[in-house]
Amino acid sequence: MMNVKIRNIYKQRACLVGLKRFRVRIMIGNMWDWVIVGVVALLLFGGANKIPEFFRSFGRAAGEFKRGQMEIQKEIEKEVNSTKADKPVATVENK
């Protein structure tokens, strides 16, 4: 009787361990996981000398984006300021 209970406990534990093994999946959700995957892919397909070229072009693209963003912001501020200057000032007449 005791052996049967012990055997059942071991079977239950084995089933739980087996289920846990099958539940483990590769989860790629945050940014750092994607960065690591990208670097490994670059190493495999592009070689080690392609990585500096990639990051150099990425930096240039980011700089161009920031310059374009600042340019648009300056244009908007210029339009807002010119619109304020063109409006006539309302005067109050004493009657």
Query: In the chain, how many domains are there?
Result: 2
Domain contains 95: no
Same domain membership, residue 11 and residue 33: yes
* pLDDT tens for each residue of 40-54: 887 788 777 877 888
Same domain, 8 and 43: yes
| In a shared domain, residues 42 and 73 | no
**What are 69-93's pLDDT values in tens digits?**
999 999 999 998 887 766 665 666 6
- Residue 57 confidence (pLDDT) above 80: yes
Domain range for 31 is: 1-47
pLDDT for position 69:
96
- Asked if residue 55 is part of any domain, the answer here is yes
Buried-exposed string 12-49: b where 16+ CB fall within 10 A, e elsewhere: eeeeeeeeeeeeeeeeeeeeeeeeeeeeeebeeeeeee
Three-class DSSP category at 35: helix
Please check whether residue 91 lies inside any domain of the structure. no
Identify the residue with better confidence: 34 or 59: 59
* Residue 87 forms part of a structural domain: no
Q: Supply 20's token pair.
A: 């846990």
pLDDT confidence tier of residue 95, bands split at 50, 70 and 90: low
> Rounded to the nearest 10 degrees, what angle do helices 50-86 and 31-45 cross at?
130
